[in-house]
Amino acid sequence: MKPVASGFATADEAEHAFYHAFASCDYKAMAAVWLDDKVVCIHPGSNAIYGYDAVMQSWSEILNNATVPDILFNVVNKSINENLAVHLVEEHIATEPGAEVVVLATNVYKRFEDGWLMIEHHASMIPAQSDKRTLQ
């Protein structure tokens, strides 16, 4: 069950909260970012995970067994209207010096009466040899 919390004032605030929760391996903070209803999450190399409880179980498994990562993120593109925001994000994740992976993620936020919450996260690894010019 989702902790009692309201949404965020903007989609950008929700995004910063998501990456702060991820970088600090804070399950409760991660749970507060997500809508507690019909959500979807795809981690790199995984199938789609549907529903709040299943998505939060996946994050619990990731965050509880993780070395606290260094995460830098760069929003590459945004599409937003009054109720929906879609962000394409380049994530740089390192769990030890010299062991960085680059992930592309699409994060989708929806505005509700109490604020913005995440409804979808789809992350995919970028091959090490990838031409980064395609991201700009």
The per-residue pLDDT for 60 is 97
- Would you say residue 5 has pLDDT above 60? no
- 114 domain residue, yes or no: yes
Its pTM stands at: 0.88
- 5 domain residue, yes or no: no
The bridge status of strand 70-80 relative to strand 40-42 is unpaired
- 2 domain residue, yes or no: no
Question: Based on the structure, what is the number of domains in the chain?
Answer: 1
Residue 77 tokens, joined: 């593109």
Beta strands in 6-114 (DSSP E): 40-42, 49-50, 70-80, 84-94, 100-112
CATH of the domain at 35: 3.10.450.50
- 116 domain residue, yes or no: yes
The per-residue pLDDT for 100 is 87
27 alpha-carbon distance from chain centroid: 13
The per-residue pLDDT for 127 is 76
Find the helix or strand (DSSP H, E) in which 115 lies.
strand 115-125
Residue 106 or 1, more confident: 106
- 28 domain residue, yes or no: yes
Percentage, residues of the chain above pLDDT 70? 90
Of 6, 83, 129, the closest CA to residue 17 belongs to 6
- Residues facing residue 114 across a β-bridge: none
pLDDT interval class at 107 (50, 70, 90): very high
Average pLDDT over residues 8-20: 97
What is the rounded distance in angstroms from the CA atom of residue 113 to the CA atom of residue 111?
A: 7
Rg, C-alpha atoms of the chain = 14
Q: Which domain holds residue 84?
A: 11-68+78-89+106-124
- 3 domain residue, yes or no: no
- Would you say residue 124 has pLDDT above 70? yes
Average pLDDT over residues 6-29: 95
- 98 domain residue, yes or no: no
- Would you say residue 4 has pLDDT above 50? no
- 134 domain residue, yes or no: no
pLDDT per residue over 38-74, tens digit each?
999 999 999 999 999 999 999 999 999 888 889 999 9
